[in-house]
Amino acid sequence: MLEASLELDHRLELDRIAQSILSSRQALAFTGAGISTESGIPDFRSPDGLWKRSAPTSFREFLNDPEIRARYWRRRRERYPELVDKLPNVGHQSLQQLIDAGTLDLVITQNIDGLHQKSGVDSGRIIELHGSSHQIRCLECRTLFPADSGEIDDQATIPDCPRCGGMLKEATISFGEPLIEEDLRRSLNLAEESDFVLVVGSSLTVNPASRVPLVAARTGATLAIINNEETPLDRYAEHIVQASAGASLSYLTRQVLAGVQDN
C-alpha cells in the first residue's frame, strides 16, 4: 500500500495537519509540479526534471525571434499529445475528496497540466496561476482558444490568431512573462483571508507565485508543507512533511474524512 512508505514521524505530523484542516475556517491548497510527478509529468528542478533536458524559452526570446517561435510551436506539437494522455494520481484525487467533503475551499496551482480539473475539481475552485497548456492565447486580442477547438492552424510553422491575425502562444506563463494580474490579486486576497494553507510539491522558488503561501503565513494562517525536499519557506511552516505527495495526501485525506464523520 502506498501509505506504507510513510515513516511514523510523517504520519504523526499528517495527523496534526488533519486536525488543523478540521479546525480551519477557510483552507487553501497551493500545488506545484511535484504533485504531478507521480502522474509521469517531470517537474523542473528534480534530477530528471525538465531543466536538465532543455532550457525553457523566455518570453522576450519568444516575442523577438521568429526562429524561437517556430521551435516553440514544434516542441509544443511534439509534447502536448503526451500531456493530454496523463491522468490524475492519488494526490490530485485526495485534494478533490477534501474539496468534496467541504474541508478544503480552493486549489491555487502553479501547474499547467489541468490534472486538478481532470480529478473532478470544479474549475471555479481552481486558480491556475501559471496558466494552462490546454489553452492558446492571442497576445494581441487576448482571446483564449481551447487547444482542441480546431480553430488554430495545425499546419502553420507559426500559427496566427484566427480572429485578429495576432501572435499566438500557449496560455502559460513563460520566464519573464507577467502573470495574469487578476489571478495573482485574487490568490493573494485568498491567502490573506485563509487561516490554513497546504503546500504540496513545490520548491517555492518561483516568484511571485511563492508569495501566496508567504502572505498567508505572514497574515496569520497555519502553513503546512508537503514536499520531498526543503523549501525556503520551511521556517514559516508549522507543519513540514518531507515525503511523497501521493502517499502523504492519501493518508491525510483518510484522517480528515474520518474526523468529518466523527463530528
Applying CB under 6 A, does 201 fall inside the site for ligand NAD?
yes
Q: How far is the CB of 124 from ligand NAD (least distance, A)?
A: 20
Cell of 91: 494526490
Q: Is 116 among the catalytic positions?
A: no
Q: How far apart are CA 21 and CA 33, in angstroms?
A: 23
Q: How far is the CB of 131 from ligand NAD (least distance, A)?
A: 8
Judged by CB under 6 A, the residue of 36, 174, 222, 250 near ligand NAD is 36
Amino acid at 228: N
Of 92, 116, 130, 134, which is the active-site residue? 130
Applying CB under 6 A, does 206 fall inside the site for ligand NAD?
yes
Applying CB under 6 A, does 19 fall inside the site for ligand NAD?
no
Stretch that binds ligand NAD, among 27-35, 73-81, 147-155, 252-260 (CB under 6 A): 27-35
Q: How far is the CB of 51 from ligand NAD (least distance, A)?
A: 8
Applying CB under 6 A, does 20 fall inside the site for ligand NAD?
no
Asked whether the beta carbons of 201 and 249 are under 8 A apart, the reply is: no
b/e per residue, 101-111, with b = 16+ CB within 10 A?
eebbbbbbbbb
Phi, psi of 200 (to 5 degrees): -135, 120
Q: In the 8-state DSSP scheme, what is residue 43?
A: -
DSSP-derived 3-state class of residue 239:
strand
Phi, psi of 12 (to 5 degrees): -65, -40
Q: How far apart are CA 169 and CA 18, in angstroms?
A: 41
Applying CB under 6 A, does 33 fall inside the site for ligand NAD?
yes
The pattern of x and - marking residues 94 through 133 that bind ligand NAD according to CB under 6 A reads ----------------xxxx----------------x---
Closest listed residue to residue 17, CA positions, set 227, 198, 262: 198
The pattern of x and - marking residues 160 through 189 that bind ligand NAD according to CB under 6 A reads ------------------------------
How crowded is the C-beta side of 177, counted as CA atoms within 13 Å? Answer: 21
Q: How far is the CB of 156 from ligand NAD (least distance, A)?
A: 26
Cell of 15: 495527523
Residues that bind ligand NAD (CB under 6 A): 32-34, 36-38, 41, 43-46, 49-50, 110-113, 130, 201-203, 205-206, 227-229, 244-245
